[in-house]
Amino acid sequence: MDKILVTGGLGFIGSHTVVELQNEGYEVVIVDDLSNSSIDVLDGITAITDKKPLFEKLDLKDKTGVERFFAKHQDIKGVIHFAASKAVGESVNEPLLYYENNLSTLIYILKELKKLPEASFIFSSSCTVYGQADELPITENAPVKQAESPYGNTKQIGEEIIGDTCKVTPTLKAITLRYFNPIGSHESAKIGELPIGVPQNLVPFITQTAIGLREQLSVFGDDYPTHDGTCIRDYIHVVDLAKAHVVALGRLLKNKNGSNYETFNLGTGKGSTVLEVVQSFERVSGKKLNYKIVGRREGDIISAYADTNKANNVLGWKTQLSLDEAMRSAWLWEQKVKSSK
Ligand code: UD1
């Protein structure tokens, strides 16, 4: 079976994707620098799939290290590139760190893929490239808006770098996946999201509040023009998202792609408000969540949810899991993290 490199394969989305790849029989090599992940995740993946993926600790900013890695693994058929920094606020304070981390690594990998007789590449992008879209649901043709943060800009520039490279490299096939809001964890609760410090994202903040690590969830604004006044997002179960990577990779490996660079939105197509996510949590956990409404968070958009037509009909992938199932798995994971401390 084909050998696939997964960069950032011990991270949240990366680890769930490695599980799905191994379930489909792929041979996986994980590269991770452990800067925002734990080596224990490898045990979780192994326990779920009964197979230990190959692992190399490598900082992809080390250009010689990347060259050495590819020289050693000349049989790599595809790369799924998750490794990147992703904290929006931090990126505003440390723009050079973000541009270096997220772009130099991408360039070094693409340079190596150019040398191969044939290569498939999947890139992790974000719906953040659309900003506040003028029309909802958001299709892949919606214009890319001026980035709100250096983090968002690295995704936009990253997409352009891949597009420009594909234009002049017929041996390279690439797909960019624009994620909406990934949440939840594997149903086994053997892997999940491990935010470092205070979580900035909604769902880990909810579960950490419920378990007693945080006092209260602040709901950022209830005066938005939505049905309950709180912002709307498209929350997608990370296992559904992981499966989309396997489908996208298969599309490239089997030469089913329409062109050598394609883009797909990955979402459920359904928008949920912050309060609906809280209600879902309360429903599946049987716990009342301590929250209060506070002012708006700077930079938040009002509403974003995916048009799923292209992903459903062209990629041939659909989400299968509900918001409740995602919240149930997130809660199970939080309890597991607590019990293993
Ligand atoms: C955020 C990032 C986005 C990134 C994505 C990755 C910002 C402005 N945007 O998106 O660039 O791609 O994470 O997952 O940081 N909320 C609360 N209380 C909280 C936390 C969040 O009410 O403590 C609300 C937010 O206002 C928002 C929703 O929950 O309406 C989701 O927030 P979050 O999980 O941070 O995701 P995004 O803002 O969509």
Q: Whose CA is nearest to atom 14 of ligand 1?
A: 181
The secondary element (H helix, E strand) that includes residue 170 is none
In total, how many domains does the chain have?
A: 1
Separation between Cα atoms, residue 306 and residue 266, nearest integer Å: 7
For residue 206 and ligand 1, the question of a CB distance below 6 A is answered with no
Residues 6+ apart with CB under 8 A from 71: none
- Given a cut of 90, whether residue 341 has pLDDT beyond it is no
Quick one: DSSP state of residue 17? H
Ligand 1 atom closest to the Cα of residue 274 is 29
CB 158 within 8 A of CB 209: no
Q: Let me know if residue 205 belongs to a domain.
A: no
Per the prediction, the chain carries an average pLDDT of 97
Q: Let me know if residue 23 belongs to a domain.
A: yes
Higher pLDDT, 341 or 28: 28
Q: Whose CA is nearest to atom 31 of ligand 1?
A: 202
CB 204 within 8 A of CB 195: yes
> In the chain, which ranges are continuous DSSP H helix?
12-23, 41-49, 63-72, 88-93, 95-99, 105-115, 150-167, 202-211, 238-253, 274-285, 309-310, 323-339
**CA 151 to centroid of ligand 1, rounded, Å:** 13
CATH number of 177's domain: 3.40.50.720
CA torsion 184-186-190-194 (nearest 10°) is -30
Q: Let me know if residue 94 belongs to a domain.
A: yes
Which of 82, 88, 145, 155 has the most ligand 1 atoms within 8 A of CB, as the residue to mutate?
Answer: 88
Q: Let me know if residue 97 belongs to a domain.
A: yes
Q: How many CB atoms lie under 10 A from the CB of residue 4? A: 27
CB 141 within 8 A of CB 89: no
Instruction: Determine the average pLDDT of the residues in 8-32.
Output: 98
Percent of the chain clearing pLDDT 70 (strictly above): 100
Separation between Cα atoms, residue 249 and residue 122, nearest integer Å: 7
Q: Let me know if residue 223 belongs to a domain.
A: no
Instruction: Determine the average pLDDT of the residues in 274-278.
Output: 99
> Regarding beta strands 181-183 and 261-266, do their DSSP bridges make them parallel or antiparallel, or are they unpaired?
unpaired
**CA 113 to centroid of ligand 1, rounded, Å:** 34
Give the chain's end-to-end CA distance (angstroms, integer): 38
For residue 158 and ligand 1, the question of a CB distance below 6 A is answered with no
**Length, in residues, of the chain:** 341
- Per-residue model confidence as pLDDT tens digits over 37-51: 999 999 999 999 999
Q: What is the predicted pLDDT for the residue at 297?
A: 96
Instruction: Determine the average pLDDT of the residues in 183-187.
Output: 98
Ligand 1 atom closest to the Cα of residue 217 is 23
Domain containing 140 equals 3-182+236-266
Q: Whose CA is nearest to atom 15 of ligand 1?
A: 88
Residue with structure tokens 């928008």?
271
**CA 210 to centroid of ligand 1, rounded, Å:** 18
Cα Dmax for the chain: 57
334: left (phi over 0), alpha (psi -120 to 50) or beta: alpha
CB 260 within 8 A of CB 168: no
**CA 201 to centroid of ligand 1, rounded, Å:** 5
Q: Let me know if residue 323 belongs to a domain.
A: no
CB 322 within 8 A of CB 239: no
For residue 218 and ligand 1, the question of a CB distance below 6 A is answered with yes
Instruction: Determine the average pLDDT of the residues in 120-141.
Output: 98
Instruction: Determine the average pLDDT of the residues in 246-260.
Output: 98
Residue with structure tokens 């891949």?
162
Q: How many CB atoms lie under 10 A from the CB of residue 280? A: 22
- Residues that are catalytic: 151
Ligand 1 atom closest to the Cα of residue 152 is 11
Q: Let me know if residue 103 belongs to a domain.
A: yes
Q: Let me know if residue 230 belongs to a domain.
A: no
The secondary element (H helix, E strand) that includes residue 117 is none
CB 81 within 8 A of CB 121: yes
Which of 205, 206, 213, 220 has the most ligand 1 atoms within 8 A of CB, as the residue to mutate?
Answer: 220
Separation between Cα atoms, residue 194 and residue 185, nearest integer Å: 10
Residues 6+ apart with CB under 8 A from 64: none
Separation between Cα atoms, residue 291 and residue 247, nearest integer Å: 38
Q: Whose CA is nearest to atom 17 of ligand 1?
A: 219
Separation between Cα atoms, residue 238 and residue 74, nearest integer Å: 30
What string of H, E and C letters represents the secondary structure of 125-166?
EEHHHHCCCCCCCECCCCCCCCCCCHHHHHHHHHHHHHHHHH
**CA 273 to centroid of ligand 1, rounded, Å:** 11
Q: What is the predicted pLDDT for the residue at 196?
A: 87
